[in-house]
Amino acid sequence: MKIDGTPGSLNRNRQLLIAQTAWQGSDERQALWIMQCMPCGHMYGVDAPDFFQRKCPACQGGPPGLVVKPDAPATPPGSSS
C-alpha cells in the first residue's frame, strides 16, 4: 500500500488519516491532522510529521493524541484583549 499522507491513507499501525487541517498542532510550525484508529475507532489529532509512525493512544500504547479544537482562535490564549 502506498502511504503518501493523503486522506484515506493508513499508516503501518493501521491508523487512518481522516483529514489534513490548517489548525495548529503541538506548535505553530506543525499542522494538525485528524486520525482514526482502525482497530478501535478512536479519533485523535496528531502533528502532520507524526502520521507515518503514529500508534493509537487508546489501544496501541501511543502518546496521547492532540486535542482537536476547530473553534480555537488562531492566537494563543491571553495574547489578545
Grid cell, residue 61, equals: 500504547
Among 34, 37, 46, 66, binds Zn ion (CB under 5 A): 37
Rounded-to-integer distance, Cα 61 and Cα 31, Å:
23
Residue type, 22: A
Beta bridge partners of 35: 17, 44
DSSP 3-state assignment of 66? strand
Among 40, 72, 74, 76, binds Zn ion (CB under 5 A): 40
Nearest distance, CB of residue 53 and Zn ion, angstroms:
15
Among 20, 42, 48, 52, binds Zn ion (CB under 5 A): 42
43 binds Zn ion (CB under 5 A): no
**Positions in the binding site for Zn ion (CB under 5 A):** 37, 39-40, 42, 56, 58-59
